[in-house]
A = this chain, B = another copy of it.
Amino acid sequence: MGRRERNKIDTRRAIADAAFDLARSVGPGAFTADQIAERAGVSRRTFFNYFHSAEDALTVRMDGFLELALGVFGSMPAGEPLFESIIRAFSETTRMEGLSQHGELFRMADTNPELLRAQLHSWERAEVLIAEALRRRLGSVTGDLYLTALVGSVLSCTKAAVRDWAATTAEDAEDSGEQLEARILAALSMLRDGFSEPVASGAPSTARDTHASPGQPV
């Protein structure tokens, strides 16, 4: 990797870190692009070469998480049942990534509409990427609607899991990673079972065969 490439990555990272530090210390939405740039040691103009708003600089981590999950998913054996692959992809990703900052960023979105929008956009971009990957895996027989509805639902469940985790789990907890993993598993299991039976808090139904029983839900 050449010097040029290396520098760009470093700069990008420096800016993202500066933005995160500022968000953390003065609160999201309470600082300007100039402040980020100054802290990152670049000019204001350069900041806007990398991101087009302060909030965007705060989604780098989430983008990374979702792209990483996509990469992991891509390496799953093709024969494996789809939901197995999806669940494992997210589970393994939670183990690879440092999660402490993610929860914090998520909570920040509660008090800052612009940041929330940026994060929603990040999920949306991931949705498109994942849909493309899945199309390659499932082939062209599958309808577009099926594909996009599935991917959207999977990400919604993941989002719900992450939010629940961010809301209830201290980010410095020992088992923080496992907590998130369990929630993702629980939410995706619900999805796989068509939400046929309401599940109370903290009691994820992971049994494969909840699937055979249900009759009329709710």
Task: Give chain B residues whose Cβ lies under 8 Å from the Cβ of A183.
Answer: 145
A109: nearest residue on chain B (CB-CB)? B124
Interface string of A97-119 (1 = CB under 8 A from B): 00000000000000001001110
Task: Give chain B residues whose Cβ lies under 8 Å from the Cβ of A81.
Answer: 216-218
Which of B124, B144, B203 is the one whose CB lies under 8 Å from A143? Answer: B203
Whether A148 contacts B121 in the complex (CB less than 8 A), given A194-B191, A194-B194, comes out as: no
Task: Give chain B residues whose Cβ lies under 8 Å from the Cβ of A194.
Answer: 191-194, 211
Which of B145, B159, B195 is the one whose CB lies under 8 Å from A150? Answer: B195
**How far does the alpha carbon of A124 sit from the alpha carbon of B119 in the complex, in Å?**
11
Interface size class of A (residues with CB under 8 A): 35 or more
**How far does the alpha carbon of A109 sit from the alpha carbon of B156 in the complex, in Å?**
20
Chain B nearest Cβ from A210, distance in angstroms: 10
Is the pair A200, B142 in contact by a Cβ cutoff of 8 Å?
A: yes
Interface string of A189-218 (1 = CB under 8 A from B): 011111100111111000000010010111
**CB of A141 within 8 Å of the partner chain:** yes
**CB of A76 within 8 Å of the partner chain:** no
Chain B nearest Cβ from A134, distance in angstroms: 10
Task: Give chain B residues whose Cβ lies under 8 Å from the Cβ of A163.
Answer: 148
Q: Within A58-113, which residues are at the interface with B (CB < 8 Å)? A: 81-83, 113
Supplied contacts A148-B160, A149-B195, A194-B194, 5 more A-B pairs, CB within 8 Å: A81-B217, A142-B198, A149-B160, A153-B156, A155-B156
Residues of A at under 8 Å CB distance from B? 52, 81-83, 113, 116-118, 120-121, 124, 138, 141-146, 148-150, 152-153, 155-157, 159-161, 163-164, 183, 186-187, 190-195, 198-203, 211, 214, 216-218
